Amino acid sequence: MSTFGTLFRVTTYGESHCASVGAIIDGCPPGLALSAADVQVQLSRRRPGQSNLTTPRDEKDLVQLQSGIEHGVTLGTPIGLFVKNEDQRPHDYSETDMYPRPSHADYTYLQKYGVKASSGGGRSSARETIGRVAAGAIAEKYLRQAYGIEIVAFVSSVGKVRIPSSVASQNGDEDNDDAEDILSLEYAKLLKTVTRQDVDANPTRCPHAETSERMIERIVRAKDANDSIGGTVTCVIRNVPSGLGEPVFDKFEAKLGHAMLSIPATKAFEIGSGFRGTEVPGSRHNDAFVRKANGTLGTATNWSGGVQGGITNGEDIYFRIGFKSPATISQAQSTAQYDGTPGSLAARGRHDPCVVPRAVPIVESMAALVVMDELLLQHSRKTSAALLPAITTLPPTMVLPREAEKSA
Amino acid sequence: MSTFGTLFRVTTYGESHCASVGAIIDGCPPGLALSAADVQVQLSRRRPGQSNLTTPRDEKDLVQLQSGIEHGVTLGTPIGLFVKNEDQRPHDYSETDMYPRPSHADYTYLQKYGVKASSGGGRSSARETIGRVAAGAIAEKYLRQAYGIEIVAFVSSVGKVRIPSSVASQNGDEDNDDAEDILSLEYAKLLKTVTRQDVDANPTRCPHAETSERMIERIVRAKDANDSIGGTVTCVIRNVPSGLGEPVFDKFEAKLGHAMLSIPATKAFEIGSGFRGTEVPGSRHNDAFVRKANGTLGTATNWSGGVQGGITNGEDIYFRIGFKSPATISQAQSTAQYDGTPGSLAARGRHDPCVVPRAVPIVESMAALVVMDELLLQHSRKTSAALLPAITTLPPTMVLPREAEKSA
Amino acid sequence: MSTFGTLFRVTTYGESHCASVGAIIDGCPPGLALSAADVQVQLSRRRPGQSNLTTPRDEKDLVQLQSGIEHGVTLGTPIGLFVKNEDQRPHDYSETDMYPRPSHADYTYLQKYGVKASSGGGRSSARETIGRVAAGAIAEKYLRQAYGIEIVAFVSSVGKVRIPSSVASQNGDEDNDDAEDILSLEYAKLLKTVTRQDVDANPTRCPHAETSERMIERIVRAKDANDSIGGTVTCVIRNVPSGLGEPVFDKFEAKLGHAMLSIPATKAFEIGSGFRGTEVPGSRHNDAFVRKANGTLGTATNWSGGVQGGITNGEDIYFRIGFKSPATISQAQSTAQYDGTPGSLAARGRHDPCVVPRAVPIVESMAALVVMDELLLQHSRKTSAALLPAITTLPPTMVLPREAEKSA
Amino acid sequence: MSTFGTLFRVTTYGESHCASVGAIIDGCPPGLALSAADVQVQLSRRRPGQSNLTTPRDEKDLVQLQSGIEHGVTLGTPIGLFVKNEDQRPHDYSETDMYPRPSHADYTYLQKYGVKASSGGGRSSARETIGRVAAGAIAEKYLRQAYGIEIVAFVSSVGKVRIPSSVASQNGDEDNDDAEDILSLEYAKLLKTVTRQDVDANPTRCPHAETSERMIERIVRAKDANDSIGGTVTCVIRNVPSGLGEPVFDKFEAKLGHAMLSIPATKAFEIGSGFRGTEVPGSRHNDAFVRKANGTLGTATNWSGGVQGGITNGEDIYFRIGFKSPATISQAQSTAQYDGTPGSLAARGRHDPCVVPRAVPIVESMAALVVMDELLLQHSRKTSAALLPAITTLPPTMVLPREAEKSA
């Protein structure tokens, strides 16, 4: 349905041409300093018209907070918010409406509901993500204040143009799995240090300047061809405490994958070593434990991507999402009408030739929602267990000594 | 938590060395003919000891149905079931217990709960999947009887050994995205026709005989080296009606990804064209509509993998899951104890050098649970809408004519 | 939290002095003709200022529908809606703020959240119910169109003034349980026939004219004494199909009780014979089955209140809710400040001396939400079971013949 | 469905004549000392055959814990448990099966599912409550250890025989609301002090000895007449911290009412002053605040029943549940067969003439489940808020000073 989360819950509404799109965020901790500006910053990174790589539509997408906040402080009650749709007219009927757009949601929405919005695929519209981004911005502020958590996503590839060594080969020769590392040291360092400033320095939202230039060329080439091109977004989450993730069905990576694959146009998700981790033998893939400089336990490598057994281990969490090439293109396509009549369809309006730059804040927001919800769940468990008498009857390796506790 | 699903709900319990592992399946439609044999067949495909490629532990894993069935027919009430654990002794304390096993769940479970099972990572044990497989077998029987739905998973790669053309290159040169197809025609045909008999013909559960031989070599090589190797499982679901998938957060692929990434050792998921779909321009990636032989609308290609806008379109659904190389290996590893003391750890017992053959029925079961749940949700919607008076006030392209209805 | 329902889900936001109060209704069947007027009618019955028995505040409470509807027809997607708060200023600080209001939510909200709205008990404000009433009006329209379901609530008592024979004695002598009926025939007839027109004919919303006059006197007496008085609301739901209610925790009466006890100021709930049913022996309390005029099975009496074993049986559902006397009164009360200092508090502003007349549409709305949600759940079950082959292996009394089917 | 709770979740399975009845308890805090004996004590209080007032069936109902516990300590993972059914044969077909039993669930289960268990109303069987009682016993142990919470239920009435002054009149004269108190002082003292030992001292589970004698007479009279009689159970929960209850739909009393009305045979629920609270003017009904001996804030009276605005205030929580007279009676009843044919039905077997004594541990268990779940939710909120910087920008009456904190 339109609700995500167990304790930090987001419910969104709205499609392209209705009065507004919005959300209710339930379960925000009370006492958080929060203003519209905190939310607007990510909405503005998401909005169209930011560069000539995206759709020229220029929407301001100004958020209006409705409830749950007084004197700039959250009350712990639901936060209602919305953004007005500037174009609220239902779509005018035209001959192109006889065609379900290929690889779009027109056909499936009609099959599902028996009725559909005049503008097509209803809630599959990218405008629906406004509610998510607003909710994610609120979660992020809490995570930053309470734990210093940093969430940074960036464009790691456009078509076949990608940041060097960001994805290890899945095509090496069989007898030589060991010849290359899963991630290059240089790329590992990028994950460790990349900031939103770095990301926004380039219109592609790729922090690697040289690659960004080639990505721009690739996008312009698609645009000039009245075509489109896909890409991948990589995201890193730093300073997450250990212990997050709810066995067994709500493992951290399962909920994260769920969140990411609910973003329009996504087709793939991998965490840590991902598909590459299927090729490297266990002896090399295992992350050995080491004592960290601060005395706590950590891992020497991080092919696990910060999650082991579905639970965070305190290392950086990183993952990659594949966005298909946009279905809406200006060139004519041979296809069929709803009744099966063959014909040719050319898209109306103007659209993004490549969506990944604008997907960056959406990925960050969905990541924030997952971390927040899992954190609130773990807070309950830790507090509840801490109220019990100390366990004295178990072998020592079955019990965590208080001084070794790093989890939320 | 330990429950999956909204209307068809599975709740599991149990870890490695407790009395039993089991599940409660709630929401099974009443009136389904069901016996223990229906459930046992998939449990037996999952159990260890089926070939010399897997762990030599030999557990029978016989299911005992407890409730919800009378005279061999489901009552619509919860079905309780369990499988006894043959080894119910808590693990004996030993020196190896001082070490959290690398890339295992020992450390994270202890961080999360403050206490852990003597055997280590508690619910991350593969035995937990018994409850899922049993539940999936029940869902599958319904899906087969009510819709003729077929779910077939198979091993598509082990290490770098893979079925030819099962995964298109992600490493081609930039100026030539168009040089190769996303899937070869041969592989597309395999997806269309592969059966469980084909899959079980080889001990690797790879239906491509020549590749299977090479996979066996690869697994034996890992085993002989006291090492382990990962792989991928591909799954196809045929005959799914259109209209399944709940916008926006519970898109079909989001719930499917969630389900798959909740299986132990998974690191990656992709549906349809997956990561490859990020490289192919929209003009080639779009699935054009065509009138099918039976008069209904379908798509000429299926890069979407049977899902558009998060909703099934009636085409085959196919997806691929990456399983990392198993963390448990017999060779000694340099690592640290819980208190940070460096040392060397060698695994106790004997384990699967490669888990993907046994993962096949688990993947099928989780797929069945997702389809079943989304189907029950859509049944409610369709029935509810059908009770309303016909819509007469909308433009024709906004309403589905009754004769065009193909959805559940 | 702020969400109610499984398939028909309502999420509300807002408190007294924020920008607006509103709701998102998710899961509304597609294809329902719906306009703001459909929603407004119940909001207007709920708003203050309707008679001199209620608070003189005059708020228009005009609803603004935001999404999920096009050309006057629901799309099956979430319906966002809100009502602006006319007084959006946070409450000014005053000396009375040192006191938690007795039997109000000021103290408990502060204990729960550590922070509270300046106006006091935050979401316990009656304005929160606006979202529920709007949602209920939408559910009601569906129920009426699809099943002819009628939901009518009315005021059955104010203080000790009540409709004659509406509640049987709980104080008879022990040796004579049989001396009086559970409900008088006259009252049973009222339940069978009462309409909203009858209810709205009197400002008390009591359809029994003579009793209504006495209620008015009782309310005026409370008002003149700067005091308040409680009452009960009785509700009947007619034409509900059999088969609604989800065993075991979501029995129909359990969900109904939950819904009603979530309305502010409620302290009690009973269905059918209620507390009186604890006193009448089983031999008299049992509802014998009879063949109805239309050939189907029904019951001769209806002490069950339309629900048996937690599932509706097709008879009228009726229940009664107790609303305590309002906590806000104008006379001074001896109480203590937050810090324990004793003192005297007199309420600011003007308030309803009796809330039950305005509670009527709220009760109806919550009833509609429960019926709607249970109906959508049962639609899924019925459709799913109907797709299976007919059961031929069971004894005839274990299977429902198709011709005897009356359920949803 | 068959699951109750958000963070502390119980899922039950089983009906009368299947192999076993059981439950999975998910979300139990890790580190709780727990053995089968902790669970058995309440199961034994629930089982039949405890006195000649109940059914002579003698079932041992021995619980078998399956998982989630090692060395007598909970692991935080799901606890599976079951009790074998001693009579596992499906019911033999007989002529009485042609009749749906009046006021039983035979008819409604058949309408709902289209198929039913041979023994009749499937999950409406009292045996289903075994899983709840087991789960409640686990919750109770946590609540006692972590907070010293005490939950005591007792029989407050059987038919018209009741503990003096336990329920104030609802039939006084209109001009004299003030003549009697809501609860007598004596009864208030009983609520404050009653223990399970007091309750179990009498076979009726009524702690008031003289009343118990009269209840026995009443039950024996029903039994001798081949009839049945209902009653009420009152429950008090002491030492609950303030702050529990989730606005707005999951108010504490709403969830409590939901839990109680999900117990078979319940028809009514009231908390605190209940229906009586509708008759007493606000000026007398309000609970004034006072400084308690320990310096914290409390209330002088407790007509609220420990809950204000849906949130606990730290005072005792007390409530009352009405159980109808059992539907199964040995005398012949005029009724109709499934096909409408009139006839006469006499119940098979032997049954409880009065269920309230055995309902006592069920009520306590459901109460424990509600408190536990609301407590785990509040633990998350409190911990999450405590990690934020102190609020410095709000007026002092909007913020709870740390020293005034009493909530969970």
Distance CA A272, CA A287 (A): 11
Write the pLDDT tens digit of every residue in D11-42.
999 988 899 999 999 999 999 999 999 999 99
The angle that helices B356-386 and A106-113 make with each other, rounded to 10 degrees, is 60
Q: Is B379 on the interface with C (CB under 8 A)?
A: yes
Beta carbons of D73 and B115 less than 8 Å apart: yes
Q: Is A117 on the interface with C (CB under 8 A)?
A: yes
Closest partner CB to D177 (pick from C159, C261, C270) = C159
CA pair distance D205, D193, nearest whole angstrom: 15
Q: pLDDT grade, residue C90 (50/70/90)?
A: low
Q: Is A29 on the interface with D (CB under 8 A)?
A: yes
Average per-residue pLDDT in chain A? 90
Q: What is the mean pLDDT of residues C337-351?
A: 85
Mutate to test the interface with A, among C2, C20, C73 (most CBs of A within 10 A): C2
pLDDT at C95: 76
- Residue pair C384/B141 in contact (Cβ under 8 Å)? The answer is no
C247 CB neighbours in chain B (<8 A) are 77
CA C369, CA C362: separation in Å to the nearest integer? 11
pLDDT at C175 (0 to 100): 47
In this complex, the residue of A32, A70, A384 whose CB is nearest that of residue D379 is: A384
Average pLDDT over residues C29-40: 97
Instruction: Note whether C98 and C53 are within 8 A (CB).
Output: no
Backbone angles phi, psi at C151, to 5 degrees: -125, 120
> To probe the interface with B, which of C384, C398, C407 has the most B CB atoms within 10 Å?
C384
So what's the pLDDT on residue D122? 81
A176 has a chain D CB within 8 A of its CB = no
Count of CB pairs separated by less than 8 Å, C with D: 473
> How many contacts, defined by CB atoms under 8 Å, are there between A and B?
473
Q: Taking CB atoms and an 8 Å cut-off, how many pairs form between chains B and C? A: 95
CA angle C240, C244, C245 (to 5 degrees): 135
CATH of span D3-404: 3.60.150.10
Kindly report, residue by residue over A50-100, the tens digit of the pLDDT: 777 776 666 789 999 999 999 999 999 999 999 999 877 666 667 788 899
Chain A, residues 119-158, CB within 8 A of chain B, namely 121-124, 128, 157
- Under an 8 A CB cutoff, do A15 and C73 touch? no
Confidence of residue A296 (pLDDT cuts 50, 70, 90): confident
Q: What average pLDDT does this structure show over A31-60?
A: 86
Average pLDDT (A354-360) is 96
Closest CA of chain A from B186, distance in Å: 20
Cβ–Cβ < 8 Å for C253, D124: no
Q: Whole-number mean pLDDT of chain B? A: 90
The number of angstroms, rounded, from the C-alpha of D26 to the middle of its chain's C-alpha atoms is 20
pLDDT tens per residue across span B313-345: 999 999 999 999 999 998 999 999 999 999 999
**Mean pLDDT score of chain D, rounded to an integer?**
90
Banded pLDDT at C157 (limits 50, 70, 90): very high
Q: Transcribe B298-335 into DSSP letters.
A: EESS-TTTTEETTEE-SSPEEEEEEEPPPS--SS-EEE
Q: Is C39 on the interface with A (CB under 8 A)?
A: no
Instruction: Tell me the chain A residues in contact with residue B100 when contact means C-beta distances shorter than 8 Å.
Output: 289, 297
What is the least distance, in Å, from the CA of A71 to any CA of chain B? 32
- D76 to chain B, any CB pair closer than 8 A? The answer is yes
Tokens 């366990």 -> residue: A391
**Per-residue pLDDT averaged across A296-306, rounded?**
94
Do residues C81 and A23 touch, judged by C-beta distance below 8 A?
no
Contact B365, B135 (CB under 8 A): yes
Average pLDDT over residues A155-172: 74
Give domain B3-399's CATH architecture: 4-Layer Sandwich (3.60)
Give the pLDDT of residue D407. Answer: 72
Residue C404: the pLDDT is 63
| Contact call for residues B398 and A100 (beta carbons, < 8 A) | no
Instruction: Write out chain B residues lying below 8 Å of C389, CB-based.
Output: 145
pLDDT, tens only, A308-341: 999 999 999 999 999 999 999 989 999 999 999 9
Number of C-beta neighbours around residue A182 at 10 A? 21
Using the beta-carbon criterion (under 8 Å), do C78 and A12 form an inter-chain contact? yes
- Name the residue of chain B whose CA is nearest to A391's CA: B115
Banded model confidence at residue D48, pLDDT cuts 50, 70, 90: confident
Give the residue, B95 or B11, on which the prediction is more confident: B11
Contact criterion met (CB < 8 Å) for A380 and D385: no
Average pLDDT over residues C236-251: 97
Q: What is the mean pLDDT of the segment spanning B134-153?
A: 98
Search chain D and give the residue with CA nearest B89: D70
Categorize the per-residue pLDDT at A184 as very low, low, confident or very high, splitting at 50, 70 and 90: confident
Task: Tell me the angle at which helices B36-46 and B356-386 cross, rounded to the nearest 10 degrees.
Answer: 140
Q: Kindly state whether B39 is in contact with chain C, defined as any CB-CB distance less than 8 angstroms.
A: no
Whether C136 shows a pLDDT value over 60: the answer reads yes
- At B192 the three-state DSSP class reads helix
At B357 the pLDDT is 96
Which chain C positions have a beta carbon within 8 Å of B29's beta carbon?
A: 381, 384-385, 388
Residues of chain C positioned with their CB less than 8 A from the CB of B395 = 71
- The answer to whether the CB atoms of A397 and B308 lie below 8 A apart is no
Answer whether residue C53 shows pLDDT above 60.
Answer: yes
For chain B, percent of residues with pLDDT exceeding 90 = 76
Q: Which of B4, B150, B141 has its CA nearest to residue B69?
A: B141
- Contacts A407 to B, Cβ<8 Å: 111-112
Q: Which amino acid is at C312?
A: T
Place of tokens 């497989």: B133
Q: Do C232 and D278 touch (CB under 8 A)?
A: yes
| A142 contacts on D by Cβ (under 8 Å) | 384, 388
Give CA angle at A147 (A142, A150), nearest 5°.
Answer: 80
Q: What does the CA dihedral C398, C402, C403, D1 come to, rounded to 10 degrees?
A: 70
Q: Where are the domains of chain C?
A: 3-398
Alpha carbons A41 and D133: distance in angstroms, whole number: 51
Asked: is C3-398 a CATH 3.60.21.10 domain? The reply is no
User: Taking 70 as the threshold, does the pLDDT of residue B197 lie above it?
Assistant: yes
Inform me whether the C-beta atom of residue C268 falls under 8 Å from chain D C-beta atoms: yes
Indicate if the pLDDT at residue C52 is higher than 80. Answer: no
Residues of A in contact with D377 (CB under 8 A): 7, 380
CB contact under 8 A, A113 and C64: no
The predicted structure's pLDDT at residue A183: 63
Q: Please give the order of strands across the beta sheet that includes A9-13.
A: A3-4, A9-13, A20-26, A79-84, A64-65
For C259-303, the pLDDT digits (tens) are 999 999 999 999 999 999 999 999 999 999 999 988 889 999 999
- Residue D118 pLDDT grade (very low, low, confident, very high; cuts 50, 70, 90): confident
From A230, B266, A383, select the one nearest D31 (Cα to Cα).
A383
Beta-carbon separation of D108 and C242 below 8 A: yes
User: What percentage of chain D carries pLDDT values higher than 90?
Assistant: 76
Tokens representing residue D334 in the block: 């005029």
Residue D343: is its pLDDT beyond 60? Answer: yes
Q: Which of B104, B200, B227, B258 is catalytic?
A: B104
| The predicted structure's pLDDT at residue B171 | 41
* Closest chain C CA to residue B400: C31
Report the residue of chain D nearest A27, measured CA to CA. Answer: D381
pLDDT exceeds cutoff 60 at D2: yes
AA letter at B216: I
0.90 exceeded by the pTM?
yes
CA separation for the pair B198, B188 (Å, rounded): 16
The mean per-residue pLDDT over the stretch C111-136 comes to 90
Contact B407 A111 (CB under 8 A): yes
Determine, for residues B73 and C391 on separate chains, whether the beta-carbon distance falls below 8 Å: yes
Of A132-141, A199-208, C170-179, D223-232, least confident by mean pLDDT is C170-179
Q: ipTM strictly over 0.90? A: yes
| D11 close contact with C: CB closer than 8 A | no
How much is the pLDDT for C57? 66
CA distance C221 to D178: 14
**Residue in C72, C77, C395 nearest the CB of B393:** C72
CA distance A206 to A234: 10
Interface check D108 vs B, CB under 8 A: no
